[in-house]
A = this chain, B = another copy of it.
Amino acid sequence: MSFEIVLNHTVGDCRLSVDFASQVPRIAVTGPSGVGKTTLLNCIAGLITPETGKIVIGGRVLFDSTERISIRVEQRGAGYVFQDARLFNHLRVAANLAYGERLRQAGHSGVDRERIIETLGIGSLLDRWPASLSGGEIRRVAIARAVFAHPRFLLLDEPLSSLDQERAAEILTMIEHLGTAIGIPMIYVSHQPEETARLTDTILQLAPR
């Protein structure tokens, strides 16, 4: 089973309750702002420990509160594109890209580095400091950094926000390719139905409660 996400968690006033399972390789997560989408991704990445629940991705149990299993963050193998990008400001773009790439030889490695850099249009930015990048450039570098980290699965939190439609379409194609050709499971948070529709039919709709 590709995805099994069962969890209960509360942050502040937000009670997140998910019970979802699916065999598809890619799912989309939608829901109004503040409903808990980012919180869900953080739980899957291991940055937040849910109160109760079970998380299985690509057949690998990442978390199970009844079995007291909780794989460590760095071993979960997420390729996480954060909503707030989180580039390392003290490293140049090239070093940001290399950060995860160097660390995990394990996961998938069928990514074509050169082609991704070209699709993302960040070839000319490699020597730059993150502080000098434009909003969309930051986003594209963040995508590359996550993809280069030999991820076992991808968590994409509105990865294409603040990108022009042409470029967004190209990148979406690339992401799609990572899913189909290389077979990386993927959770895609977006507010754009057109985007999600291209990637998957399976949508996890979070609703406030």
Contact = CB atoms under 8 A, between A and B. Distances in A.
Interface of A: 12-13, 30-34, 37-38, 83-84, 121, 124, 128, 132, 134-137, 139-140, 157-158, 161-168, 191-193
**Copy total for this chain:** 2
B84 A33 contact: no
Contacts of A140: 33
Nearest to A14: B134
B162 A83 contact: yes
A12 B168 contact: no
B33 A136 contact: yes
A135 B12 contact: no
A33 B164 contact: yes
Contacts of A158: 135, 161-162
Contacts of A193: 165
Nearest to A192: B165
A166 to B, nearest CB: 7
A167 B33 contact: yes
Nearest to A139: B33
B84 A32 contact: no
Given A12-B132, A33-B167, A38-B134, 7 more contacts: A13-B124, A34-B134, A34-B137, A83-B135, A161-B162, A164-B191, A168-B191
A165 B135 CA distance: 21
A31 to B, nearest CB: 7
A45 to B, nearest CB: 16
Contacts of A164: 30-33, 191
**Most B Cβ at <10 Å: residue of A33, A140, A193:** A33
